[in-house]
Structure 1
């Protein structure tokens, strides 16, 4: 049977760029919450000669994610799932951001674990924002509740934001949600390893996508002053990393996060971050 790769958030940006790469030697299944966006992406991929199926999926709904994976299984052996779906600070309030980015990742992970076998790989997309939190703001104790009591996890993970100005809360929730993705991916590595599968995450920096441009309002462009490479990244550049991580060439790579941020985190300091938050 042909190998299948599932790309969440595959209707645009990094997800679509990744589907174009994975589609060179896989049947691809892309998902999004918008049928219109999916139709356009599917047409573009098929126009390139890529075998592509499109599925509407809401990653905040556990059954919707399970159905996505079942649909993919009908097409062949699911070799990988690349989880690019998510929202950024300008796209929602703190709880929505956490439900999509954090709980959505749990739902995707559980659905993947159910079908994982030797050689399978789950690649989660986090963010360089995961590395910008002061240690005091990282609610690791809350993270441990995510698998057993999601509502308690949400309350505790969002608690610190209640003491911050309103304009900062969505940004902090985003950073916490992506820090959770990094943490959770590492936690899941041993679990998947028992089946011969892999889990890891990739943390992009400021990327020139529709979502990335929207986040100029949140300071993404200002972060470039601290980068080694003084430019926005291209979605194709991140897609190359995601596709490599999902491939057999990276078969010994698991339980780790890979920064793909043009050297921002290497150059930024806590003082720099405080100055940006004041602007």
Structure 2
């Protein structure tokens, strides 16, 4: 039976790189809201001899996500969903970022939970930003509401964003939304295991993709320069980790987040400790 891997955000740098890896031994279904970019990504993978289907759609649209999984199921056995779709602070206001990153992850995750066959894996993309916020700022108590009352969940996420100045709210919304992705990927592990499924997340640091470079002037560049590994990560490095996490060799890996940030958080933590110690 053909094994199928779904890549959301398949027109992006990280998604396309992941597709090129998993496509070596899987049929790939790319999903992205940007139709022209999606077609170009499919064509580029076709030239590599990979079997690719492109499905346009928005991760926040439950009907579109359900149709995506039906398409994948019709092609074979769904082995994995690598959920790279998301937006950065420079790409919209707080509401757009919260809906795309948090509600989009929830929509993909819950449809995967509903229809994926035993043994399948969902790998979500969180962010280094999810490791940077003080716990007191993150409305973690509101996160479970997303599963039952998404409207109330968004209201509380917006309220948390309003603690920041207006010009900083998109950045805070990004960090909060990725904190939700990290929470969802750990808190739901036992539930997913009950259906024989794996779920986890990867938190990339600053990555040399078009979206990543949008944030270069907003502080990401400075953090990279001060990291243990003083350079940007590549889309291919992130994709190798995503593909491994989604594959059978990682069959014991679930309910966790893997930080792949070139040592940024480690450097920041140690420097803060030294400063506090005087």
Same fold, TM-score > 0.5, yes or no: yes
Q: Report the TM-score when normalising by structure 1.
A: 0.95
The question of whether the paired residues in 1 share the 8 Å contact of 2:31 and 2:56 is answered with: yes
Deviations 1:5-44 (A, max 9, x none): 0000011210000000000000000011011111101110
Partner of 1:196: 196
The question of whether the paired residues in 2 share the 8 Å contact of 1:198 and 1:255 is answered with: yes
Partner of 1:207: 207
Task: Say whether residues 1:56 and 2:56 are aligned partners.
Answer: yes
The question of whether the paired residues in 1 share the 8 Å contact of 2:4 and 2:72 is answered with: yes
How many Å apart are 1:226 and its aligned residue? 3.0
Partner of 2:231: 231
Tell me, in whole angstroms, the C-alpha distance in 2 between the residues paired with 1:236 and 1:243. Answer: 10
After the TM superposition, which of the residue ranges 83-92 and 146-155 deviates more from structure 2? 146-155
Partner secondary structure for residue 142 of structure 2 = helix
Within-5 A mapping of 1:47-126? 47-126=47-126
Tell me, in whole angstroms, the C-alpha distance in 2 between the residues paired with 1:225 and 1:154. Answer: 35
Task: Say whether residues 1:33 and 2:33 are aligned partners.
Answer: yes
Deviations 1:104-150 (A, max 9, x none): 01100111011223210000000000011111111011112111111
Partner of 1:13: 13
Structure 2 unaligned residues grouped into runs of 5+: 273-278
Q: Report the TM-score when normalising by structure 2.
A: 0.95
The question of whether the paired residues in 2 share the 8 Å contact of 1:32 and 1:57 is answered with: yes
What is the CA RMSD across the aligned residues, in angstroms? 1.2
Deviations 1:67-103 (A, max 9, x none): 1111111100000000000000000100110000000
Tell me, in whole angstroms, the C-alpha distance in 1 between the residues paired with 2:253 and 2:266. Answer: 22
How many Å apart are 1:269 and its aligned residue? 4.1
Structure 1 unaligned residues grouped into runs of 5+: 273-279
The question of whether the paired residues in 1 share the 8 Å contact of 2:78 and 2:117 is answered with: no
Deviations 1:195-222 (A, max 9, x none): 2110000000000000011011321111
